Structure 1
C-alpha cells in the first residue's frame, strides 16, 4: 500500500532538519492540537518519534506554564481588588459603593448560550472530575474534555496552587503524548509506512 503521507514527508524534508522540531513545538502550543496532535503530525511527517514527542510536549508545556503564571497573577489581582472593596465597605466608603457593578451577572442571550454549550459541558465535566479525582486525576482525564491550556486556567481560577497545576499538567501532557506517539508509531509500523 502506498504511503498517503508521502507528500507531507516530502514537504518537511524541504525544511532544514533543525527547524523541523520547532514546527512541531509550535503546533504543540496551539489549543486543540496540543502535544498529542503535534506529535502525531511530526511522526506522520517522518520525524523520529522521540524527537516529535519531545518537541510537541515542549511546545504544549511552555504554553501551559505561561497560562498558569498569567492566570495566577490575574486571580491574585482579582482577589486583592475584592479584599480592598470589602475593606472599603466595612469602613463605609460611599465612593466605592457607588462605583461597584451589580453582584449578579446579566443573563446571556440565548444565542450566546448555544454557541458556548460545548465548552460549558467540558467545564462542567472538568469540575466533576476535579471534585471526584482531585487535581491529579482531573489533569489526567482533562484532555478528554478540554485543551490543557483551558484546563490549567480553570484550575488556577479555582484556587489550585500554581505549582500543583504545573506539575500535574506536565504529567498529563507527558502521559498523553507518550500514548499518542506509541499509537502513531505502531500504526505506521503495522501499515508498513
Structure 2
C-alpha cells in the first residue's frame, strides 16, 4: 500500500529535531486532539514513537495543569462570593452546548459511580481531559487529586494510542 503521508513525513523530517516534539506537545494542548491524537499524528508523520508519546503526554498534562489551576481559583472566588452574598453571575449567559451538557452528565454519573480515579480513566471516552479536569476542580475535588488521576489517564490513553499507531505504521511499512 502506498504511503499517503509521505510528503508530510518528508516535510516533518526536514524540521529541526527539537521542533518536532514541540509541535506534538502544542497539538496535545488542543481539546479533542489531546495526547492521544497528537501522539498518533506525530508517529504517522515519522517522529520516533517514544518521543512523540512523551511530548504528547507533557503537552496534554501542561494544558490540564493550567485548566485545574484556573478552575480551582475561579471556584474559590465563586464560593467566597456566595458566602459574601454577591452570588454568581447569571448562568443562562454562558449556556453550554447540548453535546457538552450530555458529556458532563455522563461524567457526573461516572464520578458518582466510580469516583475520581474511575471517572478520570473513563472520561476521555466522553470529554477532553481539559474539560474533565475543569469539571472536577469546579466540583471541589482537590487539585492534587485531579492532577494525579488526570496524569495517569493521560499516560494510559496516550500510551495505548501511541502503541497502536506505532504498530500500524510498522505494519503498513510507512
Q: TM-score, normalised by structure 1?
A: 0.85
Aligned pair count reads: 174
* 1:9 counterpart = 2:4: no
* 1:61 counterpart = 2:42: no
Of residues 159, 164, 168 in structure 1, which corresponds to 2:145?
164
Take 1:187 and 1:64, find their aligned partners in 2: how far apart are those partners? 28
Larger radius of gyration: 1
**How far 1:101 moved relative to its partner?**
7.8
Unmatched tracts of structure 2, length 5 or more: none
Partner of 1:185: helix, strand, or coil?
helix
Partner of 1:47: helix, strand, or coil?
coil
Take 2:142 and 2:165, find their aligned partners in 1: how far apart are those partners? 34
Q: CA RMSD in A?
A: 2.0
Q: Name 1:79's counterpart in structure 2.
A: 79
Unmatched tracts of structure 1, length 5 or more: 86-95
Q: Name 1:92's counterpart in structure 2.
A: none
Take 2:98 and 2:11, find their aligned partners in 1: how far apart are those partners? 38
**How far 1:8 moved relative to its partner?**
1.4
* Runs of 4+ in structure 1 over 6 Å off: none
Q: Name 1:36's counterpart in structure 2.
A: 36
Q: Name 1:189's counterpart in structure 2.
A: 170
Take 2:80 and 2:168, find their aligned partners in 1: how far apart are those partners? 52
Q: Name 2:46's counterpart in structure 1.
A: 46
Deviations 1:8-55 (A, max 9, x none): 101102211111100000000111110001000110110110000000
**How far 1:159 moved relative to its partner?**
0.8
